Structure 1
């Protein structure tokens, strides 16, 4: 009996190091963040319990506008990623000469370090020596140099374009793998019956890759919602807060203005939103799994 108990407990002992690491780097910082959100912690040595004051202050100011901007930024970015990624997957799945080379060329935005890629886009957006402004002047679309990152609307769209450029390769590869998992016999049977290319895509390819598209859209939404480096490198949340998302606002509050308590309250709200996304993601996976079994 004693030997049997040691054998049964052995796998749990193997999990202890992983559990300890998780507690140290995930659970403890999360608990500490929640605790700080109920205090007026700052650079001063002492901190006082303030209850829900940080949350009340957060929603009484412009933070609801920041939340709306974050979801708007995420929705546009994810929509463009899915659209461009789906188009790219269709083209890369087609039987065209040089298909292997095109599949390799789609990867650089994903392979290049994000900071390097964003700095390059920052140079391209520059009005004085940037390529985009120069091309638009040569094409007589604008008469004078345009500083894309100096105006609210253009800066907002510039961050979205950069995020789409970085995130599209992942979507493309994921959907391409889903398309290649479709039975060729099914496509050939539809072709023999006279179904056109667009009809086969609408009736066969699209329904079969829909689970992969839903999964990729949710994962991309979580990554985009939590994106920091793209906006910070390009605009630091400006001009006039036009690109300030929840992540950027939390960083500015806690790090730039040294209001750790208020920053912690914002971080807790971000965790709540991301937890909701994660819960919906697992719910969707379970539904898709049940549908596949049926």
Structure 2
């Protein structure tokens, strides 16, 4: 008996498929196409082959790639550390725990532009809070413009990105932490295990899959983060905070070199695909080891 083909489920999926093709597949294809042209504000464009990609690596693009991964790595590592600490504190049986869970949300709820503008005021050397407090306690002898120097500007953008992203990481890990069976903690407590031992031997191993998943998502979001750096420094001073996404924007939008900008966008896609593939492979390997251990 042959089974009759039912097209109705595919018709239901058709609007979503068309939307995906419109807003994802077509722009992606167009980006690849433009990366092989000299497209600009001119009405005509010519095919230039791999010239845009060759020009990328003749510039200081390797420095931009290295800076991007350093910026992303620092930000994600500190988000994960602060997120784990925040999740542990929010999960503790303390008075006012619900209030603390609500108060951790503003950095994530407040529009990023408003929050970053607030940080730009705090970094200001003349009337910023950070410089003022540092002078009061004797760490600085005078006003210090954090966004005017290469190293301090780089650190400032990392700190701001960590502030924006930590609440989401904390709440995600808190949800994962609350799914850990309480019986395991009770058994360890009966055996006389300390808090740190329970955290190291129960919480962290069972929280590891959530940490890996959130770390990968956070890395992708941080890698493509534009607004924080652009509002604070616009990639300066002297390119100290220019990441791949900032460099692509400056090339394609500020200098109207759409072909070169598209080639840089393709490089971002390749880097993120490779990064995600490596992380997913590590997660799968860890999962196989965990399954074999059981």
Shorter-chain TM-score bucket reads over 0.9
Q: What's the offset of the Cα at 1:280? A: 3.9
Counterpart in 1 of 2:169? 171
Which residue of 55, 70, 73 maps to 1:72?
70
Q: What's the offset of the Cα at 1:252? A: 0.1
Confirm whether residue 38 of structure 1 aligns to residue 33 of structure 2.
Answer: no
Confirm whether residue 134 of structure 1 aligns to residue 132 of structure 2.
Answer: yes
Q: How does 1:87-236 map to 2 (within 5 A)?
A: 87-236=85-234
Q: What's the offset of the Cα at 1:20? A: 1.0
> Separation in 1 of the partners of 2:3 and 2:198?
61
Unaligned runs of 5+ in 2: none
Counterpart in 1 of 2:4? 4
Counterpart in 1 of 2:258? 260
Q: Deviations over 1:67-101 (max 9, x none)?
A: 00000000000010011111111111111111111
Unaligned runs of 5+ in 1: none
Aligned residue-pair number: 292
- Say if 1:192 and 1:3 are closer, same or farther in 2 by CA, change over 3 A: closer
Q: What's the offset of the Cα at 1:292? A: 5.7
Q: What's the offset of the Cα at 1:289? A: 5.9
Secondary structure of 2:7's match?
helix
- Say if 1:281 and 1:12 are closer, same or farther in 2 by CA, change over 3 A: farther
Preserved CA contact (<8 Å) 2:212 2:283: no
> Separation in 1 of the partners of 2:181 and 2:286?
19
> Separation in 1 of the partners of 2:216 and 2:148?
32
Q: What's the offset of the Cα at 1:277? A: 3.2
Q: What TM-score do you get using the length of structure 1 for normalisation?
A: 0.95
- Say if 1:199 and 1:165 are closer, same or farther in 2 by CA, change over 3 A: same
Q: What TM-score do you get using the length of structure 2 for normalisation?
A: 0.95
